[in-house]
């Protein structure tokens, strides 16, 4: 006997119950048309993931139950069963009030229920704050199959990236003892650079342990800074990936599962993505998705970007144009007396290449006026750093004023190297609703820019890629007047922030770098990271694309004394 199992790679929106149910219904109708026996949807597809403190609202249970009843009624008289993720009351008299649940609906009835067992509390996850874990995993016996219905983390107990098991028990042990014949994972697994390969390897090992095929369905889209890449896949008994759905695109596919094989039906029609894109292309899709979804889900249509003629603002402008459409992006150049003529020229060329609206709003007169007013009564006038920050804050004021006028959002253009070292100005170049490249080190920004030019026909002027980066806040300024060259700097930042390397090892490896002309620079940069935590706490949300991004997944005290 064989089963036809449909996968709907959806993009649920947190809190949008009616919209999410509509998407599930459309997928179910399509599954019925394909004569599927079963339709799979992602984790918490009814309420969206992650709901965070919306879980504290008592209405969330009523809304989930109403949506579940609506979907249950839809299955009446149909031959296709539906597997759907949702929030439910904890049936026990103790513990958290809610559970993260998957329910199977068939012929107008609830025929199976399983709550999530492993609740992640690392990085952006905080599920133990809201949910009570299941104590055991039931096996769903259906149409001759013994099915393990797991919810995301339930299959991640042995993630090797942590170096140790995070949980005292592993649902896989129960699945193995029950001799399941099929494993299914409903997931809301966020994107990270390189995670797709790690994700598939973890599930291949599960196939090996269970000696059973596995179907993995993941959501797509973005919730604030968290990006979801989809990439749903199926693994046969031999641990081979028989096909995957696209990354960062809603999609639908149908599989045939039997005792001897697992295969896609009509693969050319169902939108498989068997030729994997490069990591840079996946990163590009991730950032475009993050910007687009942020605007869609907050109700805004227009973006405002400060165009300096530099690499960072150029990359953000390309991303915004791809996400929102060029006509919905306003580029603003704001030259001062320290701006070079080629900076304005490159900003204008970029805007023309992309088809953006382009404005020039000089700050020279405003800066002179404020400098004169603030210097009055001060012996020696304002110090250099104050003068630099005034220029940056004037630009932030102009961008916010334009955004207010056009009911738009400002995209901040800072990169991770700048946020890490505090090489940025609060209420200046840090103003904005979201930071698209705030989790990308400067060296990778250049790589992304080169990919964009290859893929999109050179929208970024070559001079942006070759000239020394500069904030142009004083005569002949370059970033390397203040910071070490970006290559060794980014190696240090990645080691300290993302891989948690020992400081002594980083010093041993990097402090004697021939590229950096001074010894002791590693400790100097680490001090900058620590003292600038107050800036990052006030920064715009950063689209998360690494293992450790600035934002909700990184919790460092501001007021501390941290001696390295």
Q: What are the CA-CA distances from residue 481 to residues 345, 438, 472, 477 (Å)?
A: 24, 22, 11, 7
Torsion of CA 107, 112, 113, 116, to 10 degrees: -120
Tell me which residues are annotated as active site. Answer: 43, 116, 152
Q: Which residues of 158-169 are buried (b: 16+ CB within 10 A; e: fewer)?
A: bbeeeeeeebee
**CA distances to 11, 196, 243 from 246, in Å:** 13, 12, 10
What share of residues in the chain are helix, strand, coil (percent, to 5)? 40, 20, 40
Q: Are 42 and 220 in contact (CB under 8 A)?
A: no
Q: Which residues are within 8 A (CB) of 227 and not within 5 positions of it... i.e. 6 or more apart?
A: 190, 191, 221, 248, 286, 289, 290, 543, 544, 545
| 224: DSSP letter | T
> What is the torsional sign of CA 540, 543, 546, 547?
positive
Contacts for 235 with CB less than 8 Å, ≥ 6 apart: 200, 203, 204, 207, 213, 214, 215, 216, 241, 242, 262
SS (H, E, C) 176-215: HHHCCCEEEEEECCECCCCHHHHHHHHHHHHHHHHCCCEE
What span, in angstroms and rounded, lies between the C-alpha atoms of 409 and 271? Answer: 34
E strand or H helix at 113, and its extent?
A: strand 109-115
Q: How many residues does the chain have?
A: 564
User: Residues 556, 507: contact at Cβ < 8 Å?
Assistant: no
Q: How far apart are CA 310 and CA 430, in angstroms?
A: 16
What secondary structure does DSSP assign to 348-367, as a single string?
A: HHHHHHHT-EEEE---HHHH
156: nearest Cα among 194, 112, 195? 195
Helices 311-324 and 442-456: angle between axes, nearest 10 degrees: 50
How many whole angstroms separate alpha carbon 317 and alpha carbon 306? 9
């Amino acid at each position: 006997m064989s089963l036809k199992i449909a996968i709907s790679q959806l993009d649920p929106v947190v809190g949008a119950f009616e919209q999410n149910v509509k998407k599930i219904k459309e997928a179910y109708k399509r599954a019925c048309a394909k004569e599927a026996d079963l339709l799979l949807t992602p984790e918490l597809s009814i309420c969206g993931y992650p709901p965070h403190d919306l879980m504290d609202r008592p209405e969330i249970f009523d809304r989930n139950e109403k949506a579940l009843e609506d979907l249950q009624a839809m299955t009446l008289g149909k031959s296709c069963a539906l597997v759907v993720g949702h929030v439910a009351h904890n049936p026990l008299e103790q513990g958290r009030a809610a559970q993260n649940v998957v329910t199977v609906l068939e012929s107008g009835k609830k025929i199976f229920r399983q709550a999530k067992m492993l609740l992640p509390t690392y990085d952006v996850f905080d599920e133990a704050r809201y949910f009570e874990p299941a104590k055991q995993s039931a096996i769903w016996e259906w149409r001759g199959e013994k099915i393990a219905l797991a919810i995301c983390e339930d299959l991640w107990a042995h993630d090797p990236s942590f170096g140790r098991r995070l949980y005292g028990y592993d649902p896989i042990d129960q699945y193995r003892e029950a001799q399941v014949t099929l494993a299914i994972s409903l997931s809301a697994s966020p994107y990270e650079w390189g995670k797709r390969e790690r994700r598939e390897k973890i599930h291949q090992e599960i196939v090996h342990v269970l000696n059973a095929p596995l179907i993995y369905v993941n959501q797509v889209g973005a919730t604030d800074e968290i990006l979801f890449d989809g990439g749903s896949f199926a693994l046969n008994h031999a641990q081979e990936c028989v096909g995957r759905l696209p990354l960062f695109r809603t999609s639908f596919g149908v599989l045939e599962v039997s005792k001897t094989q697992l295969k896609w039906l009509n693969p050319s029609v169902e939108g498989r993505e068997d030729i994997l894109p490069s990591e840079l292309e996946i990163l590009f899709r991730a950032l475009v998705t993050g910007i687009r979804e942020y605007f869609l889900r907050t109700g805004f249509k227009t973006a405002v970007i400060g165009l300096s003629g530099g690499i960072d603002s150029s990359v953000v402008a390309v991303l915004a144009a791809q996400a929102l459409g060029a006509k919905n992006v306003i580029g603003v150049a704001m030259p001062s007396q320290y701006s070079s003529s080629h900076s304005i020229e490159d900003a204008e060329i970029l805007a023309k290449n992309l088809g953006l609206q382009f404005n020039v709003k000089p700050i020279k007169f405003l800066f002179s006026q404020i400098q004169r007013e603030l210097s009055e009564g001060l012996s020696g006038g304002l110090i250099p750093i104050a003068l630099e920050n005034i220029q940056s804050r004037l630009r932030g004021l102009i961008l916010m004023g334009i955004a207010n006028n056009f009911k738009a959002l400002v995209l901040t253009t800072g990169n991770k190297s700048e946020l890490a070292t505090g090489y940025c100005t609060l209420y200046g170049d840090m103003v904005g609703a979201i930071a698209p490249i705030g989790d990308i080190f400067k060296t990778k920004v250049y790589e992304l820019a080169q990919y964009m030019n290859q893929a999109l026909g050179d929208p970024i002027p070559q001079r942006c890629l070759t000239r020394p980066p500069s904030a142009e806040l004083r005569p002949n300024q370059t970033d390397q007047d203040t910071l070490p060259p970006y290559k060794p700097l980014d190696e240090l930042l990645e080691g300290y922030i993302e891989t948690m390397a020992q400081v002594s090892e980083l010093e041993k490896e990097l402090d004697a770098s021939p590229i950096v002309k001074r010894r002791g620079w590693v400790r100097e940069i680490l001090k900058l990271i620590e003292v600038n935590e107050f800036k990052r706490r006030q920064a715009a949300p950063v689209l998360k694309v690494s293992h450790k991004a600035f934002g909700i997944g990184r919790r460092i005290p501001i007021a501390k004394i941290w001696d390295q």
